[in-house]
Amino acid sequence: MRAISVKEVSKLKGNIEIQGSKNTVLPIMAATLLSSGVSVIYNCPDIDDVAVMCQLLACLHVKTNRVGNTLTIDTREAAYEPLPLSLTGKLRSSVLLLGPILARWGKARIGMPGGCAIGLRPVDIHLEGFMKMNVDIRLHRDILDCSTFHLQGCEYHLRFPSVGATENLIMAAVGARGRTILRGAAKEPEIVELCNYLLAMGALIEGVGTDVLIIKGTDVLTSCDYCNVYDRIVAGTYLLMAAAIPSDITLTGIDDIHYMKNIIKVASQIGVSVVKMENCLHVQSFGKVDGGDFETGIYPEFPTDLQPVLVAVLAKAKKDSSVTERVFEKRFGIVRELEKLGADITVKGQRAEIKGNTELYGHTLKAADLRQGAALVVAGLFSRGYTTVTNISYIERGYEDIVRDLQCVGAEIAYV
């Protein structure tokens, strides 16, 4: 089993090129199924989740071809097939194929999605929305059997602004008959990107970027290309990391910081100075973390995906801090591992209380989900001596090469 070994570092200096966004590209890959043609996706990250999505598309006779960070998707010979649990179980986003498959073929037999073990992560909102659209759904031994005579536009209020359910229902609605109104929709940047991509394909969507989306179904969608945005969570990982280590680094490939406002705000509060320059962020710090009380939330609040990195960095703060998790009900998997480094953290329900002024000492740690794994690597950079992070396949689901990135800023880090 591969692992990452990282040594405590005294300063970080250099450039990191920020990869393309995972959470944006996965729904857009699913959306290519809505038309028959060839789509080119630029700046597509070379990560395991994208590779699994390609395998799922291959089950549907879709051809994909990667050259560098350009992914070509050819849906001209796409044909309906059931999607096996052995593949869908590897990825939460496999469920995003349900909407496009139903829009294209009116039936879907698909294994339940997998993904990181962060809370229950049910798909009831996705399914309730599909049922409103006239889909008959049965679940038997983790296989969803769905069929519809035709998808019918509907009015649906999501009980929680689930990102995935919003994406899935939008993709179904663009191929449904009549008008769909989604209320209580998620407004994450990835949804805006998906809507803009669908609009370019010929979809009719109003209210993009708001929590009420009005979608008129159409059957004339054409394939189109997409230039992927940078990954705001990967950028945020390195931005927060800078708080705990004296830093003078540049994050390149960041053209627009609109979607990072709250991440930059929190980074600034804990001691990072961030200056936007052309196509990059210049990041400096003295490596002295200012503690505080923070909360995750739905966009535009601080993203839950960066909560493990924030908790890790606050373990180095000068004073006590707290982080309250408002999106997932069980997302403090980082705490047990940080305790092995010497961190003093108490979890009370959805809130982690983190003692300041603690010395952290390198240890062997185990990644148990994507963002927690990345946070452990970051923690290794500011823990005495050496830290080894095992189970790194979780990290490779979403980070192209965290070792390469951190070497670029002078870290002593390697695969072992």
Catalytic positions:
116
Q: What angle do CA 111, 87, 163 make, to 5 degrees?
A: 70
Q: Which of residues 168-227 bind ligand UD1 (CB under 6 A)?
A: 190
51/190 Cα distance (integer angstroms) = 19
Nearest to 234 by CA among 401, 68, 365: 401
Nearest to 195 by CA among 184, 207, 183, 182: 207
Residue closer to ligand UD1 (CB basis): 239 or 245: 239
**Length of the chain measured in residues:** 416
298/326 Cα distance (integer angstroms) = 8
Q: What angle do CA 211, 307, 262 make, to 5 degrees?
A: 50
- Binder among 2, 58, 124, 136 for ligand UD1 (CB under 6 A): 124
Evaluate the omega torsion of the peptide bond into residue 303 and state whether it is cis, within 30 degrees of 0: no
Instruction: Read off the amino acid at residue 177.
Output: R
Smallest gap, in angstroms, from Cβ of residue 167 to ligand UD1?
A: 7
353/347 Cα distance (integer angstroms) = 6
Smallest gap, in angstroms, from Cβ of residue 186 to ligand UD1?
A: 6
Residue closer to ligand UD1 (CB basis): 232 or 316: 232
Contact 383, 313 (CB under 8 A): no
Does 235 contact ligand UD1 by CB under 6 A? no
Question: How many other C-beta atoms are found inside a 10 Å radius of the C-beta of residue 10?
Answer: 9
Site string for ligand UD1, 3-32 (x = CB under 6 A): --------------------x--x------
Residue closer to ligand UD1 (CB basis): 74 or 231: 231
The string of DSSP letters for 20-48 reads BPHHHHHHHHHHGGGSSSEEEEES----H
Does 330 contact ligand UD1 by CB under 6 A? no
- Binder among 327, 365, 379, 411 for ligand UD1 (CB under 6 A): 327
Site string for ligand UD1, 351-370 (x = CB under 6 A): --------------------
Residue closer to ligand UD1 (CB basis): 28 or 345: 28
Residue closer to ligand UD1 (CB basis): 130 or 238: 130
Does 304 contact ligand UD1 by CB under 6 A? yes
Does 92 contact ligand UD1 by CB under 6 A? yes
Smallest gap, in angstroms, from Cβ of residue 204 to ligand UD1?
A: 24
Residues forming contacts to ligand UD1 in the complex (CB under 6 A) are 23, 26, 92-93, 119-126, 160, 162-165, 190, 304-305, 327-329
